[in-house]
Amino acid sequence: MKVFDGKVVVVTGGGSGIGQACAQAFSDLGATVVALDLKFGGKQELSVEHRLTLDLTDESRVNAAFEAILSEYKKIDVLVNSCGIIHRATVIDTSLSDWNKVIAANLTSCFLTSRAALPSMVENGAGAIINISSGWGIAGGDRASAYCASKGGVVLLTKAMAVDYGKANIRINCVCPGDTDTPLLAQEASLVGSSIDRFRAAGASRPLGRIGKPDEVAQVVVFLASESSSFITGAVMPVDGGASAGTG
């Protein structure tokens, strides 16, 4: 069923991983999808209406991109914020430059895109924003101070916006994936001197016994954007194979 026929969906981080899976899922369900990212070139061919390459931490470029989207499509029904980078280091080992880059990519980008999309949603009296945080946005992780801070910020930015815009019929929710088999996870493994295969094997300690797939996260995002979740806003939803529930 093309349940998103007539809907305009903007997905940041749409060039790979979870963002790419989200963009494709919405497109498959009939939405007009605009994918935004610093670069494209994931393993899967992404079949969406438009792919815009831009720095999502650059205020003027983000504003210009959203003005162009609204000029062409007249509205934005759904915004998915999946832009993000990983940095693994303790506070002592994190430079101010690295801290600023992580906060900008993971948190400031959500602020900029949400601020650009919300006026149209308010005017239309409806909309949905789904922010992709992380399991480490609701619990700390080792050697990941900047990353945890940025993703924790995404969680509370989500809640604050849900409070502010609920009366405008705009629902804003947050998805917190655990380890998911993406290029970002492979990069993270390299940063800590490990391999993606070891990260996959570590998934055996979780209740479902494995790490996640990008499509599994995307399906939750689609649910939160759909009328099936019409009374859900301000929610923080782990999609982590039970990792946040504990280990056996």
**Can you tell me which residue has the tokens 């492979």?**
186
Which of 164, 140, 134, 162 is CA-nearest to residue 235? Answer: 162
- Contact (CB, 8 A) for 223 and 235: no
CB atoms within 10 A of CB 159: 17
Integer Cα distance of 152 and 135 in angstroms: 9
165 given a catalytic annotation:
no
Contacts of 179 (CB under 8 A, 6+ apart): 135, 185, 199, 202, 203, 211, 212, 240, 243
Integer Cα distance of 88 and 232 in angstroms: 33
Residues 4, 66, 147, 165: which is the catalytic one?
147
| Catalytic residue positions, numbered | 147
